[in-house]
Amino acid sequence: SVVNFDAGAETPAAGMFTAIGIGLAAIFFTPYLAYLPKATLAATIIVAVLSLVDLSILKKTWDYGYSDFIAVASTLFVTLVAGVESGVACGVFASLALHLYKTSKPHMAVVGEVPGTEHYRNINRHAVITHDEILSLRIDESLYFANASFIEDRIYALLEDYPHTRHVVLMCTAVNEVDLSALEALEAINERLGERDIALHLSELKGPVMDVLCKTHFLKQLTGKVWLSQHLAVTGIVEEMNQQKADNTENWDI
């Protein structure tokens, strides 16, 4: 394949002619090739595959991300030491392990409203509008067994930083799946927040995720609501809080 590529082959016919040539060489020229030293054959192979060696990938992956560098470097090392099959297997397992590690600690951002829009962005990256009694939290990963406990602990930690919170809104834009372990974590969060008189809301749930949750009792037990968008969630909650304050004021006046 490498020789064909270097020779400028562009069509499948090149592979057919190559196969015919290899077949003829194996049948008629093998006795003559037997006298070639192994060093000569090795040099032929090395020259043929030399163009496949690209060590610059190590620098590229190092600059781009440590996880990619680890996967590439481990694959290269095991291939040189134990062979191609072991190297490929190592690369696959390393990629899976790194994926589990990264998704077990997903990025979670407290978000606020970008002035003049209905968009919500990270409060650490943008000048946004927030409300003391509303904690808007965006989860940038699907919810499954590997990150369920991390998300639960993260929410509780954020509540310590925002003590005036009365509503927690989970913005689920990037959530493509919720497995059973994550569902149990959400149920525990909902129950624990309810004990602290904090309502749990969900926003921007995708259809397949909503279909799965509708098969459970979680939505019926949810202390808050499921909102179509984050903007509707925040504005709706603010209106409810203002209405409650107005009602309390009227009752006080009476």
Domain count of the fold of the chain: 3
Q: 68 and 44 in one domain?
A: no
Q: 59 and 132 in one domain?
A: no
pLDDT at site 49: 75
pLDDT surpassing 90 at residue 34: no
Q: Where does a domain end: 104, 128, 145?
A: 104
172-192 confidence digits (pLDDT tens): 999 999 999 999 999 999 999
Q: 77 and 161 in one domain?
A: no
pTM for the structure as a whole: 0.75
Q: 215 and 191 in one domain?
A: yes
Q: 187 and 90 in one domain?
A: no
pLDDT at site 250: 66
CA 13/CA 9 separation, integer angstroms: 9
Q: 201 and 130 in one domain?
A: yes
Assign 130 a pLDDT band (cuts: 50, 70, 90). Answer: very high
CA 189/CA 200 separation, integer angstroms: 8
Q: 125 and 100 in one domain?
A: no
Q: 236 and 132 in one domain?
A: yes
Q: 132 and 100 in one domain?
A: no
pLDDT surpassing 80 at residue 254: no
What average pLDDT does this structure show over 124-142?
Answer: 95
CATH code for the domain of 153: 3.30.750.24
Nearest to 135 by CA among 117, 104, 105, 112: 112
Q: Where does a domain end: 104, 119, 136?
A: 104
Whether 213 and 205 have beta carbons less than 8 Å apart is answered as yes
Query: Bigger pLDDT: 197 or 61?
Result: 197
Q: 13 and 100 in one domain?
A: no
pLDDT surpassing 80 at residue 248: no
Structure tokens at 201: 């809301």
pLDDT at site 251: 63
Instruction: Give the contacts of 120 (CB within 8 A, at least 6 positions apart).
Output: 111, 112, 113, 114, 128, 136, 138, 171, 230, 231, 234
What average pLDDT does this structure show over 30-50?
Answer: 82
Assign 35 a pLDDT band (cuts: 50, 70, 90). Answer: confident
Q: 116 and 34 in one domain?
A: no
Q: Which domain holds residue 214?
A: 108-253
Query: Bigger pLDDT: 9 or 203?
Result: 203
136-150 confidence digits (pLDDT tens): 999 999 999 999 999
SS3 167: strand
Assign 253 a pLDDT band (cuts: 50, 70, 90). Answer: low
Q: How far is CA 40 from CA 21, 135, 161, in A?
A: 20, 70, 70
Assign 25 a pLDDT band (cuts: 50, 70, 90). Answer: confident
Q: 173 and 113 in one domain?
A: yes
